[in-house]
Amino acid sequence: VPHKDVSVTVTDGDHGLEVTKSSLTIIEGRSKSFKVRLAEDPGSAQTVTLTSDNPDVAVDTDLTVLGFQNTLTFDSSKKWDQNQTVRVYAIHDTDADKADIAATITLADTGVVTETVSVTVLDDDIRLISSPSSLTILEGGSKTFTVRPDSDTYPGNERIINLTRSTGSSDVTFDTNPDKPGNQTQLTFTTNNWTTAQEVTVRAATDADKIDDSATIKLKGDGVKTSYVRVTVLDDDIGLTLVPTSLTVDEGGTHQTFEVKLDTQPRYDRTISLTLSSGLSLAGVTVDTNTGKTGNQTTMTFKLGKWDTNRVVTVKAAHDSNKVDETGTITLSGDGIDSGTVTVNVNDDDKIGLTLSKTSLTIEEGGFRTFTVRPAAQLDTTRTVTLSSTNSKVTIDDTDPDTAGNQTALEFTTSNWRTAQTVKISAAVDDSDKTDETATIKLTGGGFVAKSVDVEVIDDDIGLTLSPTSLTVNEGGSATFTVALADRPTNARSVHLSSDNGVTVDVDPDMSGNQAALTFAPNKWSNARTVTVRAGHDLDGSNGSETISLSVKRGGMTLATVSLPVTVNDDDRGLIVSSTDLTVAENGSGTFTVKLAAKPKS
């Protein structure tokens, strides 16, 4: 049989499918979609049926119909080449299993080529453990926290965690991998490192303000529950107000105190720790921030509502065996605080005391006062005590005119220690204000127990306001005037009144006798006070001129004197006779005239 070639055409009756995605990753409880269309015109209606091999994964081809639909229909009239959407659901389970699941969706039917879509379902029960879950960072510093899944069993698929700053200051940054340039913001947990906590570094940049900052770091990823780490940034520019900044404490004696408060309102509480320099610790100095508690407390916390309330710190110095003064510092520091120091000078209690003739002085502005000083016990060597004033307007006059310059020290020897030496304290004239001054004269050094003299300087510029400034009184009658201070005093002033014999004064008619003194408190300095002036009777017929003196006093010193002139109208009316002698002839007569010297009242 001769050879012949025969052409054979085989027509496949199965139509191909074009699927937009071959795989899906879905978080448990959520859904995703893919699209399907025929690769060619089927010529007639073509049905595609979708099935899932896992009951936790469902498909729906028609969202307009209740329930899960699982068929697609294509034909020429319905545009066989138009994509139809398939929604895939990862049904949320209620078991405690945190494993991921897998499923395969099969697209098949008579007359079509079978296709599959693989589905991975990420279990959403996995939580992230952040340790710690909140950070407090000092401005300009950094801290770290770690992150790991709460399940020790790898779920089957990696988890990628993205970190973002959801709220707060841009001064807060974070980095998941410091070995790489820039700030990395992703953590990946795989089968190899699933149970290993990964570290995140958080930094707080320095800024120019004194405001605490905050931020929230959000940790979010597919297949994990979103979590947050709260960051508090304590500004390091908040300082301390310390009053005073130095103390002198007598060893074994009375305690001293200083006060502390913040100089700026923070957004968060501040805790301050107090530490002693080594010299003070060895000398037995202690601090206590709360004497109401047992033992010595060395910390204090400023709450937001009381940041500017002064807190008292008590400082004590115990007795030691040496005879040496000690000096050191108390340092106050804490997170978010610009630290401060208080200098402490400890006077040894084995030193020799000083005997002072006065421990307080009252000086009129422009005047001076003196006191004397001598050692309280015999000296075995020459010692020098140094004097200083806390007010530049109150000065210590030269204690040694034979030495050049203004000397402010007294030298006591083994031979003159019994002799008290005089110290002269002067108060400068100050015309710029009308305020009383205070000062403390300190006597320190030389191995003596420190002493001090309190000085009050009385301003002499405060005068009186009188109304009226002169007075007329009828003999046997009375009149009044008012008096007030011309300026507000720092301390109370008394006004003492005196008068010539022709008149009397009384500042309080409700009291028996004539009261002749007034007191003006600083808060009532301008309240005018009434003074009653009375004029007595005399036997002459002349008007009188009298004077009332008003002296401003403080501390026994007369600071100013004002006079009020008083005219007294006499009530004895005289006669005017035309002739004081008359010559009359025997059996004759003569005349003279008489009239009143002034108009009578009746």
According to the model, what pLDDT value does residue 3 have? 67
What average pLDDT does the chain have? 88
Domains 128-234 and 354-455 share a fold: yes
pLDDT at 221: 93
**Residue 11: pLDDT above 60?**
no
At the topology level, CATH places domain 354-455 in: Immunoglobulin-like (2.60.40)
From CA 516, how far away is CA 526, in angstroms rounded?
A: 19
Taking 60 as the threshold, does the pLDDT of residue 8 lie above it? no
For 155-158, which contacts have Cβ atoms below 8 Å and span 24 or more sequence positions?
155/98, 155/99, 155/100, 155/122, 155/123, 155/126, 155/223, 156/99, 156/100, 156/101, 156/102, 156/120, 157/25, 157/100, 157/120, 157/122, 157/223, 158/188, 158/189, 158/190, 158/191
The CA distance from 519 to 492, in Å, is 7
The mean pLDDT of 339-365, rounded to a whole number, is: 89
115 token code pair: 């296709």
pLDDT band at 477 (very low <50, low <70, confident <90, very high): confident
Which residues are paired to 552 by β-bridges? 495, 560
**Yes or no: is domain 464-569 CATH 1.10.540.10?**
no
Report which DSSP code applies to 15. Answer: B
Q: Is the pLDDT of residue 348 over 80?
A: no
Instruction: Note the pLDDT tens digit of each residue in 160-171.
Output: 999 999 898 899
Cβ(406)–Cβ(398) under 8 Å?
Answer: yes
CATH of domain 128-234: 2.60.40.10
**pLDDT over 70 at 602, yes or no:** no
Residue 446's pLDDT band (boundaries 50, 70, 90)? Answer: confident
Percent of the chain with pLDDT over 90: 53
Q: What is the pLDDT of residue 77?
A: 64
Flag whether pLDDT at 1 surpasses 60. no
Q: What percent of the chain has pLDDT over 70?
A: 94
Nearest to 505 by CA among 528, 481, 470: 481
pLDDT (tens digit per residue) in 263-286: 988 888 899 999 999 888 877 899
Residue 9: its pLDDT value, please? 42
Which range scores top for mean pLDDT: 413-422, 453-462, 491-500? 413-422
| Average confidence (pLDDT) over 325-341 | 90
Class of domain 17-122: mainly beta
Mean pLDDT of 123-130: 90
Q: What is the pLDDT of residue 325?
A: 74
Do β-strands 240-243 and 198-204 pair in parallel, antiparallel, or remain unpaired?
unpaired
Please report the pLDDT score of residue 597 as a whole number: 63
| Dihedral of the alpha carbons of 495, 499, 505, 507, in degrees to the nearest 10 | 0
> What letters, b where the CB count within 10 A reaches 16 and e where it falls short, cover 335-368?
bbbbebbbebbbbbbebbebebeeeebbbbbeee
Q: Are strands 23-27 and 71-74 parallel, antiparallel or unpaired?
A: unpaired
Residue-level pLDDT at 106:
95
What is the pLDDT, as a whole number, of residue 492? 87
Query: Looking at residue 594, what is its pLDDT?
Result: 83
Q: 19 pLDDT exceeds 80? A: yes
* Residue 542 reports pLDDT greater than 70: no
Mean of pLDDT values over 226-255:
90
Predicted confidence at residue 70, as pLDDT, reads 95
For residues 252-266, average pLDDT: 90
Q: Could you read off the pLDDT of 30-83 as tens digits, one per residue?
A: 999 999 999 988 888 889 999 999 999 999 999 999 999 999 998 766 678 899
Q: What ranges do the domains of the chain cover?
A: 17-122, 128-234, 240-347, 354-455, 464-569
Who wins on pLDDT, 3 or 413?
413
The residues, ordered by sequence, that sit 6+ positions from 578 with a Cβ below 8 Å of its Cβ are: 592, 593, 594
The matching CATH number, chosen from 3.40.190.10, 2.40.30.210, 3.40.800.10, 2.60.40.3450, for 240-347 is 2.60.40.3450
